[in-house]
Amino acid sequence: MAQSSALKKPAWQERWEEIKPAPFRTAVEVLPGLYQVRTKGSSAYLVVDDDEITLIDTGSPGSGIKILEAMDELGRSPEDLKRIVITHYHIDHVGGLAELQDWVPAKTGVHLAEAVHVESGEPLPSPFVNPLLAKICAGWLENHGPGRARVDEILADGDELPAFGGMRIIHAPGHTAGSISLYFPQRGVLLVGDAMQYKFGRLMLPSRVFTQDMTAASESIKKLSRLQFETLCFSHFRPILSHADRKVREFSRTLEA
Ligand SMILES: [Zn+2]
Ligand SMILES: [Zn+2]
Digit-coded pLDDT (tens) for 115-142: 999 998 777 888 888 888 888 878 787 8
Instruction: State the distance from the centre of ligand 1 to the C-alpha of 90, rounded, in angstroms.
Output: 5
Q: Which residues of the chain have pLDDT under 50?
A: 1-2
Which ligand has its closest atom nearest to the C-alpha of 212? Answer: 1
The pLDDT value given to residue 1: 47
Instruction: State the distance from the centre of ligand 1 to the C-alpha of 206, rounded, in angstroms.
Output: 9
Digit-coded pLDDT (tens) for 88-108: 999 999 999 999 999 999 999
For the chain, the domains span: 23-253
The pLDDT value given to residue 138: 81
Which ligand has its closest atom nearest to the C-alpha of 195? Answer: 1
Contacts of 8 (CB under 8 A, 6+ apart): none
Q: Which candidate, 4, 78, 81, places its Cα nearest to that of 47?
A: 81
Instruction: State the distance from the centre of ligand 1 to the C-alpha of 175, rounded, in angstroms.
Output: 7
Instruction: Tell me the CATH number for domain 23-253.
Output: 3.60.15.10
3-state secondary structure of 148: coil
Instruction: State the distance from the centre of ligand 1 to the C-alpha of 88, rounded, in angstroms.
Output: 7
Which ligand has its closest atom nearest to the C-alpha of 60? Answer: 2
